[in-house]
Structure 1
């Protein structure tokens, strides 16, 4: 029994929705389409993509093709072949141009990112519009990025703040970075989500000048609440007449008086406080505070700089080996009442000091300390387990050995701009202890596929795990290094190798209940334990995931 000709098969597809007829058409004409695509793209994978696109286009336009065949019946079976040849050529050329543009964009982004100069040219490109782009994001995306890159929160803290699991928080940040990339693209700046993540991590927040925060807080607190400069609160603050005359000559009267008040307050603070006092040696201040009843047990009494609803903890951060103050340590505090909430992040000053203000009713106060070269350290006081939050806490950071390695694909080619994640599988300690070491890191490989860090305490080597992640590749999951006899030595030598498999590509189409294509739908690939991939459908309802 002979098979129906092309015209009959197209009719069955268009009028009867016959899947078997369409399958015969694909089998019959796939060699033609694939050959054209292979010649024009010069790439087997791209040729496969083109072939799939052409037949998907045929399915979408099968009614129009049937009408074309009906009008040109005298041309015989060549009508469909001609349509497929033209469609194959168009799709192949379009996909080739698109692929070249994508590769050029990625090269440009990586060149900007990897240039070795005093200034980061990529950051200088995005810096003028980064805050505008962030402000244009939906609130959930903006919050996720602010927590991650502006407050230095780990995925555990982000999850607690947004009421998500750790893995869901990581996926939220990844999707938010992609939406931020789209905002930059709308402003004419081409980049990748990974490059943005690296730039934000390096440049989004920088330490303020020493003492500036204290001066501003005191000056603003001293300024009149009602905006009337002549209030009694400001009348007691001395003023510098030369400074006030200089400003009042160039500003309107009201603005000039406000500046006078602020300058006067700053001058008064400078004379009152005098030079900064060095951090006391270990034991002196801590022992003095220990001998004083805890502030939380004294109703109606609030420490300096805090209200009756707040309390204050001063951190003294030192190096364990030299006992010298450690500056520029990222301090990430968060507390728990009914739920966990982040507090403002800050950096330790030149004397290793940082002040954390937290609610009096906090049941748990946790502070993460992070600085390259020292082991990530966590301080945690759980009042429900009998721990008392002190007014002053000294913490000594231990040095962390440098570990690192290489990320390659299955062919042994180094993979640049690939994320390496390190963590503790059992999370934060559950026992009632104040100080512990943590590990929750993300490092991006350099132009040679290498990564390194010096933030993991040696005591965690028997517990911590790692995995690489790249959007277009497949990971083998988390690796517990202690289970591999040679792994720890290779990490310390910087020679440990992660291998990623080439990822698969998934293509499809989203339709509604009437079989009409749905455009703008978001398709997700992944599960709770993996990094999700996402794609948005085109006007024809098509999507590509990989």
Structure 2
């Protein structure tokens, strides 16, 4: 305590007291970080103030009952206090709140349903109030499931705009794009959300959907709920007397508010315990960085700081908590200077293709502490490292080294524009570069697969990670509703600062999906099976079974580079690869729950091709996964495997139950390759099986310890 300060009262309302100005200026992620690192009561109170309406609105929409929605809201904030999530920005924080609220609401609803069944109450749950907007009454029960079907990028855009009610300027800042690009991203996300809703029988225009979301997606939490949160007192000494004080306050509360008060008490106790355990148990594994004299620090034109290489003993360790798998140092390959601000992504993969990712950034000395896997088993790690102006690298790290230095080479700067076949600039094109065959000097190697840039509203783009030792740059251009385009640029023969890349529109396939009786199948997936290794186009059928799949190209036996075309201003238009010989059409997958999938080939004879599909009832594929002694293996992963072309056509996956059983009711009639794996057992791949209704028994052998 600083001398001269006034002694604070013994009991302080942590949600009502004045909040430091700096906290009011923090975003949600910064508040969460402040709470996690120091147990800041003010930071947590700001999180509660900022997100109560959001959580309550989602809960109310799920359970259609005010008191239950309040219970869900309390539970979500209790979870937030007890186990704050790892998020990289406000978009992920809002997504975590949405996901957690949906899960808690499902649990609460099931618990309430069981309770009412046990008590044999005839009354049903409180009905949804009459909606002033009929469309909202259709959307509300289907909104959260439809949101969860979107990609993470689209889901973040919708949540930030309509749930967190951020202006476009702030959305652009959070997502790292311009305000115009943010508008485009939100607009496309709304259109894809509309498609998901259509698969559930809710039809509307994108404009109408945007309007109703803006009006109805957030509902103000009841004042008594907010008041119950604000009534929680955090005593200066959180002992028995402090808890007794809260209980005493509750005893003087009217009976109608007792339940709300008890739940609020749980939040208070959880927060107090977390705060006190943080204060009483200092993190002994935290290593504080030491001060360093400034003559060693240099500045790059980009503003990044680099540090002259020193012996490891003189370098400060990276501040971290928990177990460290690897202490990584990223340096300039030529100067051996540490690279500040390099991005490090460590990925662990478990059974079923489930991954655990950690995204880090090197400190001012080029150091990063890579955390150990959350699982106790010793899993291999894939490491991806990139820095502005440098060629990215990756490595499979199965070594026992405690430290590793990765040296990055400086990259070529290449820039230009993306246009369509009519010469119009195209915004939002993802521009990647195929990884060239460049030999490395160690276990790490050049890897461009995780590096990408996007064209802006004028079609302009800039990338600084191109290896300087290659003779040609093989670009990959992708965007929704455009064909995957592969232009090749010869290095040394064109101006690399003024490239004009042409993205192809491709063909369109449209039609209708029905069952054997001619009834439309809503929500059926229609997917492209071409472009292995790149993005594949996909869409869902509307309520009437119709669909439109755009941006398709025929398959060919061989391909050649198209000749470059000169513009009037002297610049070259660089086209993608062209097929040679007879086109083989495009393979598509048509798949819906309860129906047998189809993989027909569609000939692309016109710019728009009309094809209808009829699906038969699905086949039953079932079985058990056992160990060598015949004992069931629960939670084993069963999934379809890739064929000899590296293509997993059906992409189905499940886990076994407690008896080792699994079942798929939408399997094709043809034989399919399957993959079986479980923790502690050797996996089994390329197993051809037929969905004939019989019970297939799969036996896995336990891994042996060397």
Q: TM-score scaled by structure 2?
A: 0.37
Larger Rg: 1
| Greater share of residues in strand | 2
TM (normalized to structure 1)?
A: 0.46
Whichever structure has more helix as a proportion of its residues is 1
